[in-house]
Amino acid sequence: MMHAYRSHTCAALNKSNVGETIRLSGWVHRVRDHGGVLFIDLRDHYGITQVLCDGDSAAFKALEAVRSEWVIRVDGRVKARDASLVNTKIPTGEIEVYVTEVEVLGASEELPLPVFGDAEYPEETRLTYRFLDLRRDTMHQNMMLRSNVVRWLRNAMWDQGFTEFQTPIITASSPEGARDFLVPSRLHPGKFYALPQAPQQFKQLIQVAGFDRYFQIAPCFRDEDPRADRSPTDFYQLDVEMSFVTQDDVFGAVQPVLQGLFETFGKGRKVDADWPRIAYRDSLKWFGSDKPDLRNPIKMQEVSEHFRGSGFAIFAKLLEQDGNEVRAIPAPKGPSGDPVGRKFCDRMNAFAQQQGLPGMGYIFWRERGAPRTLGEILDTPVSEIVDPDETKETERLALEAIQKAHAANDRARVEFLFQAFFGQHEPAGPLAKNIGPERTEAIRQQLGLEKGDAAFFLGGKPETFEPIAGRARNVIGEELGLTDKDSFRFAWIVDFPMYEKTDDGKIDFSHNPFSMPQGGLEALNGDPLKVYAYQYDLACNGYEIISGGIRNHKPEIMYKAFELAGYPNSEVDKRFGGMVKAFKYGAPPHGGCAAGIDRLVMLLADTQNIREVIMFPMNQRAEDLLMGAPSEPMNEQLRELRLRVLPKEA
């Protein structure tokens, strides 16, 4: 007896089934009427099968009434397609099903957005009708990718000797860098639970309990401002913790897992096996970001000395103040070989202005016409080379300086001066004119640039211009074709500062408060702003995908660390009493990390919007448009919880 709904899925039939009577159920993906012959693409979770019906079939009239996204059951005979009509793009492309019977299982109203095709629709509409949006092929593939990634990670962690444990969802509030979602307690009026920002304390307690290598695909909840690469409410992470490990041990456990993940699901894109370690301060200096995109080879450099006391007054005056710097963003010509000219430089200057800066200085190097040769300069007296009526004073002085260096047998100085004044690389742009050829040549040599290349310059306090410099670096890499789009590049960012100064001048944790300070208790007795933590992130293609650290497992160090951030011992005992108590009964050195599942899938799916890889995401205002959350509570609920909602402030 045939199953009530299907004998096969919509991806299962092939040429071997020709002649069989079968039953399929699914959604009407597309209807085509070819003059009395109906062709329907029938879709289910697994794939698509083409079914057809003509006027000779008893099912024709009923099938004629169906529309897109109706759910139907069809019975029919499997036929082979003509060779010229075979569709090689789908597994069922060699066959079609002649329908003899049809049943409508679920009719559909007119669609608010189409399922067929990839037309762009407003995100508000897509999220309101998410169940329809998820029927689209791209979204369906994204969700299947996510599911397969989670399964792969789980298997890989077990294979690495890790054990999976679950930690509580309702817990106590904890300062982890974001706002908690609070949950009022009915049994304890006036008190609140919190949804965990991460299983941080629990996974450390698991180590104290002696369970060594822990992992979990953990839900986390943070009341954050939304971004394209971050959910405003909840997310999932691969949570990891290990006992008796150093930072190197954690890196060694994580790399093969993520390397294998990206090789498996990266669709053939190159996965670089060299994961450099970059100090946080260097990452900001070189890339303007603590999550650098290393597919872009541009590395910024400090060039302050070339502008100190120079003719470019803006930078020269800035450098008279302590803490100011001038950084250069090299812009070598891309694979096309086209020189970086004035038009591109002007566009980047306009970009800086759009980002809120007065502008961005630049120099570009073009080929000098009919340059002098070094042999000519060295073998001929200056008086015979120059024409007093046409030669500029700077050129005459340059010729004399070259010959003087030659007489002193200073070959490096000879070559430098020759390249600066008469070589093939002629500098252009306002900055070059202001600082002169010698300083300009020194910059070119430091940056390793050639003719056709350019450089951009920003000055001031690094913390004010670094983010803009980082964005400019990304734009330059993209527009000049320098960024390798067909690869994944990873980097460990290490040596994060333990503390930072807040806007009101107080000292606070700059990252995870549970990390061990480098140097232990002794380091905490000096300047807090000079203390580094055993804290690390993993960056990939411009995104942070892992954050972790070696934990502070000694109560005396923990008390001191929190004291510097303004938490007295009593507050530490109140907030983290369970963990502090546990550390007093024999805690092993331990450390770990957490990888954002949503962000991993976002990278693998090649999308820049994290909502494209979450089944039912919130919108950018942290609203669930499908389910209507957040919603107003009923009065009975508020009374039961002894809560009152205050009116909005005018």
Rounded average pLDDT over 551-570:
93
Q: Give the Å distances, CA to CA, from 105 to 40, 45, 64, 74, 485.
A: 16, 16, 15, 10, 45
pLDDT for 390 equals 46
Q: Is the pLDDT of residue 177 over 70?
A: no
Separation CA 172–CA 74 (nearest Å)? 55
Q: Is the pLDDT of residue 199 over 70?
A: yes
pLDDT for 385 equals 54
Residue 153 is encoded by which pair of tokens? 């990670």
Cα atoms found within 13 Å of the Cα of residue 409, Cβ hemisphere only: 0
Separation CA 255–CA 177 (nearest Å)? 26
Extended beta strands in 34-126, E state? 37-43, 48-54, 71-80, 95-106
Q: How many DSSP H helices and E strands does the chain contain?
A: 21, 24
User: 371-405 burial, b if ≥16 CB within 10 A, otherwise e?
Assistant: ebebeebeeeebeebbeeeeeeeebbebbebbbeb
Separation CA 315–CA 456 (nearest Å)? 13
CB 361 within 8 A of CB 313: no
Comparing C-alpha atoms, which of 101, 23, 96, 28 is closest to residue 61?
Answer: 101
User: Mean pLDDT of all residues in the chain?
Assistant: 91
Q: Give the Å distances, CA to CA, from 81 to 52, 60, 86, 466.
A: 11, 20, 6, 62
Q: Give the Å distances, CA to CA, from 416 to 287, 425, 439.
A: 29, 12, 11
pLDDT for 173 equals 80
Q: What is the pLDDT of residues 269-280, one digit of tens each?
A: 999 999 999 999
101's CB contacts (< 8 A; 6+ apart) are: 58, 59, 74, 75, 76
Longest dimension (CA), the chain: 109
Rounded average pLDDT over 490-499:
97
Q: What is the pLDDT of residues 588-607, one digit of tens each?
A: 999 999 999 999 999 999 99
CB 515 within 8 A of CB 534: yes
CB 292 within 8 A of CB 283: yes
pLDDT for 358 equals 84
Comparing C-alpha atoms, which of 124, 485, 431 is closest to residue 295?
Answer: 485
Residue 439 is encoded by which pair of tokens? 């300083």
Cα atoms found within 13 Å of the Cα of residue 333, Cβ hemisphere only: 15
Q: Give the Å distances, CA to CA, from 502 to 507, 510, 558.
A: 6, 9, 21
3-state class (DSSP) for residue 401: helix
Q: What is the pLDDT of residues 244-257, one digit of tens each?
A: 999 999 999 999 99
Answer left, alpha or beta for residue 349, where phi above 0 means left and psi between -120 and 50 means alpha.
alpha
Q: Which residues pair with 549 in a beta bridge?
A: 535, 592
pLDDT for 1 equals 81
Q: What is the pLDDT of residues 77-118, one digit of tens each?
A: 999 999 999 999 999 999 999 999 999 999 999 999 989 887
CB 325 within 8 A of CB 462: yes
pLDDT for 373 equals 63
pLDDT for 392 equals 62
Query: Are β-strands 234-243 and 507-509 bridged in parallel, bridged antiparallel, or unpaired?
Result: unpaired
pLDDT for 381 equals 66
Q: How confident is the model at residue 359 (pLDDT cuts 50, 70, 90)?
A: confident
Rounded average pLDDT over 335-364:
89
Q: How confident is the model at residue 300 (pLDDT cuts 50, 70, 90)?
A: very high
Highest-confidence segment of 384-388, 547-551, 564-568, 636-640: 547-551
pLDDT for 391 equals 47
Q: What is the pLDDT of residues 401-430, one digit of tens each?
A: 777 777 777 777 767 776 766 666 678 888
Q: How confident is the model at residue 397 (pLDDT cuts 50, 70, 90)?
A: confident
Q: How confident is the model at residue 438 (pLDDT cuts 50, 70, 90)?
A: confident
pTM: 0.88
Q: Is the pLDDT of residue 211 over 90?
A: yes
Q: What is the pLDDT of residues 117-137, one digit of tens each?
A: 877 889 999 999 999 999 999
pLDDT for 118 equals 77
Rounded average pLDDT over 563-586:
91
Q: Which domains does the chain have, with CATH numbers?
A: 15-106 (2.40.50.140), 141-269+533-553+588-613 (3.30.930.10), 280-489 (3.30.1360.30)
Q: What is the pLDDT of residues 368-380, one digit of tens each?
A: 655 566 665 666 6
